[in-house]
Amino acid sequence: MRNNIYVIALLLTFSSCAELMQVANQVSTSTNSNQQISNSENISGLKSALNVGIGEAVKNLGVENGFFQNEALKIFLPKEALPIIDNIRLIPGGQKLVDKAVLSINRTAEDAVKEAAPIFKTAISEMSFNDVMGILFGKENAATEYLRQNTYTKLQVAFAPKVKTSLGKQLVAGVSTNDTWNLLSSGYNSVAGSAVGVIGGLKPVNINLENYVTEKALDALFIKVAEEEKNIRTNPVARVNEILKRVFGQLDKK
């Protein structure tokens, strides 16, 4: 009888040990799978995500028709110029000239936007740990806003010569987009400033076309960057490497 008791006790001991080992293994596995992501991983992951995002944004816009055939981002002549445009369309060949000007403006933006990549990359490389954490766990457009604040002026400077050169190219009969705009706006403003223009309620159009195109190109660029940022934050498929999956997977659990 006593031997039977020893055997039962021994079996219970082994059974308890096995259960304890199983529990320990489960805890260990769970701990490893939920192991806290290191600071260096967060930094690397966010910077990798931003480089992927800006790469896609610049690639999509900096090609022929990247602006011109994108109905949401296509750049038209300034809305203030509508009275001028309406009048020039009445002249034979006027509509063709307007169309050429719009095409030229968009080709200008497509060319200029290529200058953005190295400027963005420098800003990303200079991010501090606090910058990274604030962006990673911030708003869905936190990275885009950071880049806008830290690169906008530099981008304006980089875009300016490209825009000036492109708008100075001849459209037809030795006349460039800039020439066309300056002639039209100055002529219109002369009328608007006259007694007849004042009575007719015409308002002068004072727009620097180069600045206008630069601003519109930058607005479009940051719209695309924001789209890419949101995609990586919310779409697991957009996380194209392991570090992105690991770092941005944290956001899925929030």
- For residue 57, the enclosing domain spans 40-252
Task: Mark whether 27 and 47 lie in a shared domain.
Answer: no
Q: In 176-254, which ranges are continuous DSSP H helix? A: 177-192, 195-199, 209-234, 242-252
Task: Mark whether 136 and 206 lie in a shared domain.
Answer: yes
Q: Give the count of domains, the chain.
A: 2
Task: Mark whether 187 and 217 lie in a shared domain.
Answer: yes
Task: Mark whether 46 and 79 lie in a shared domain.
Answer: yes
Task: Mark whether 16 and 120 lie in a shared domain.
Answer: no
- Residue 149 half-sphere exposure, CB side, CA atoms within 13 Å? 9
And the tokens for 7? 């055997």
Task: Mark whether 51 and 168 lie in a shared domain.
Answer: yes
Residue with tokens 């936190």: 142
pTM here is: 0.77
Residue with tokens 């940051």: 222
pLDDT (tens, 9 = 90+) of the chain, 254 residues, equals 544 444 444 334 444 444 434 434 443 333 334 468 888 888 888 899 899 999 999 999 999 999 999 999 999 988 877 877 777 777 777 788 788 889 989 999 999 999 999 999 999 999 999 999 999 899 999 999 999 999 999 999 999 999 999 888 886 667 788 887 887 777 677 777 788 677 777 777 778 899 999 999 999 999 999 999 999 888 888 887 788 888 888 877 66
Task: Mark whether 22 and 99 lie in a shared domain.
Answer: no
